[in-house]
Copies of this chain bind each other. A is one copy, B any other.
Amino acid sequence: MTHHLISGGAGFIGANLATSLLKDGHRVLAIDDLSRGRIETIHHLTNNPNFDFRQADCADRDALDAAIGEAEGITDVWHMAANSDIPAGIADPRIDLHQTFMTTFAILEVMKAREIPNLHFASSSAIYGDFGETMIHEDIGPLLPISNYGAMKLASEAQIRAAVEAFLSRADIFRFPNVIGVPATHGVILDFVHKLRNTPEELQVLGNGTQQKAYLHVDDLVRAMRHIAEIPGRYQLFNIGPTDDGVTVSMIAETVRDVASPSASIIFGEESRGWVGDVPRFRYSVDRLINTGWEPSLSSQEAVQRAVAEIVAQEMGR
């Protein structure tokens, strides 16, 4: 049994990770400011004696340190806290500065002071920017993020790399594409479900629907992160994703429509990008991870199908 701190522990990924770690008998301290995470996501864990939750802003070093308080023997921090609203971060760069980067910065300061050795970081495919048809592997360059979210994830990676040089024993960097599943708090599937709940006869889609992306189900993501955390090494950089090239926004729109409101018509926009900072197409190599013996259980298409069913059930109670 080891003791794990999860920042963003009431968020979509953090809550799934906490459930997984607890299932294997580990202790978990989840910290979340509840600005985006919701306490409901971890209600099923609160009776577990190995689980603790504390509300704090992880970007505030002193508040974070106070939240950890007397918790003992923490060896691993899983840093999942971040802004998850990319367009909001483009409108106001202070959002990603605070929620995506300063969380990393303050967590590193607390880890140094408390001598916590291991960091596992939720980075993003957004650090790469737009490589068009080029297959994106971990060592590609130059890194040209086109959103403040991607910029502040890259800034976080850089600060973590310097910390490995100075004091951390180990850091894993997980770069992942869109992750889907429940409890959904944001994302394209949830948006579509909400739109169809409001206007069941029509689904308006930002962009022309041809944007194609890889989607990973959160169950596969958690399995991959925990797999990587077991690989010996000092600084590990892994793309995590399915092995396919992804699915289009129009496929997602159709899947949601078919489940949530079969008679609705789908109306597309004209832009190839949904918003500034949206990468229209994207080929993502997970060969490095596959070569370590991990493989996804679901393709992008299967992940979308499962997540749509889960999210419609969550939002519409069916």
Establish whether residues A141 and B143, one from each chain, have CB atoms under 8 Å apart when the complex forms.
yes
Question: Bound state CA distance, A148 and B144, in angstroms?
Answer: 20
List B contacts of A90 (CB < 8 A).
162, 166
A242 at the interface (CB under 8 A from B): no
Question: Bound state CA distance, A108 and B139, in angstroms?
Answer: 28
Q: How far is the CB of A164 from chain B (nearest CB, A)?
A: 8
A 84-124 contacts with B by CB, 8 A = 90, 93, 97, 101, 105, 108-109
Establish whether residues B151 and A276, one from each chain, have CB atoms under 8 Å apart when the complex forms.
no
Q: How far is the CB of A315 from chain B (nearest CB, A)?
A: 32
Stretch touching chain B among A17-25, A47-55, A153-161, A290-298: A153-161
Question: Bound state CA distance, A148 and B152, in angstroms?
Answer: 15
- How many A residues are at the interface, by size bracket? 35 or more
Establish whether residues B143 and A165, one from each chain, have CB atoms under 8 Å apart when the complex forms.
no
A 157-188 contacts with B by CB, 8 A = 158-159, 161-162, 165-166
Establish whether residues B165 and A277, one from each chain, have CB atoms under 8 Å apart when the complex forms.
yes
Once A93-B105, A139-B142, A277-B165 are accepted as A-B contacts, the answer to whether A154 and B158 lie under 8 Å apart by CB is: yes
Copies of the chain in the assembly: 2
Q: How far is the CB of A110 from chain B (nearest CB, A)?
A: 12
The residue in A139, A152, A165 that gathers the most chain B C-beta atoms within 10 A of its C-beta is A165
Establish whether residues B147 and A277, one from each chain, have CB atoms under 8 Å apart when the complex forms.
no
Establish whether residues A166 and B108, one from each chain, have CB atoms under 8 Å apart when the complex forms.
no
Per-residue CB contact flags for chain A residues 37-79 toward chain B (1 = under 8 Å, else 0) read: 0000000000000000000000000000000000000000000
A244 at the interface (CB under 8 A from B): no
Question: Bound state CA distance, A139 and B140, in angstroms?
Answer: 8
Q: How far is the CB of A245 from chain B (nearest CB, A)?
A: 21
Establish whether residues B143 and A143, one from each chain, have CB atoms under 8 Å apart when the complex forms.
yes
A 273-318 contacts with B by CB, 8 A = 276-277
Q: How far is the CB of A275 from chain B (nearest CB, A)?
A: 11
List B contacts of A141 (CB < 8 A).
138-143
Name 8 A/B residue pairs within 8 A (Cβ), A-sorted.
A143-B143, A143-B158, A146-B162, A147-B162, A152-B158, A152-B159, A155-B155, A162-B277
